[in-house]
Structure 1
């Protein structure tokens, strides 16, 4: 069935062109990890100066 849905904040882009990997701080644990989003991931653009969100 796959992993449960997680929500995190993209805290850092690792490439100048904005492509993955992204450093993400997970809201459920507060931990950070380097993420290469898969085909079922959703990365939202920041809203009005807010952070980008990875789902």
Structure 2
């Protein structure tokens, strides 16, 4: 998985009724776009993460 700053991550709920978590990649700590990523979620929480199989990477919008 390769990403750039500004890409969005969508983490699907693993349990019925669990909401999806959406965040923005604000820093890439791996080489050449590889994980780990520092992600800021919509609620303001920031974390260092290695995306798993339940994570979808959405490229940032380019105009």
Question: 1: distance between equivalents of 2:33 and 2:51?
Answer: 13
TM-score normalised over the length of structure 2 = 0.65
Spell out structure 1 runs of 4+ moving beyond 4 A. none
Deviation at 1:41, TM superposition (A): 0.4
What does residue 30 of structure 1 align with? 44
State how many pairs are aligned: 48
Q: Does 1:21 align with 2:15?
A: no
Gaps of 5+ in 1: 50-55
Q: Does 1:43 align with 2:57?
A: yes
Question: 1: distance between equivalents of 2:19 and 2:34?
Answer: 24
Deviation at 1:34, TM superposition (A): 0.5
Cα RMSD (Å) of the superposition? 1.8
Gaps of 5+ in 2: 1-14
TM-score normalised over the length of structure 1 = 0.73
- Per residue, is there more strand in 1 or in 2? 2
Deviation at 1:16, TM superposition (A): 2.8
- Per residue, is there more helix in 1 or in 2? 2
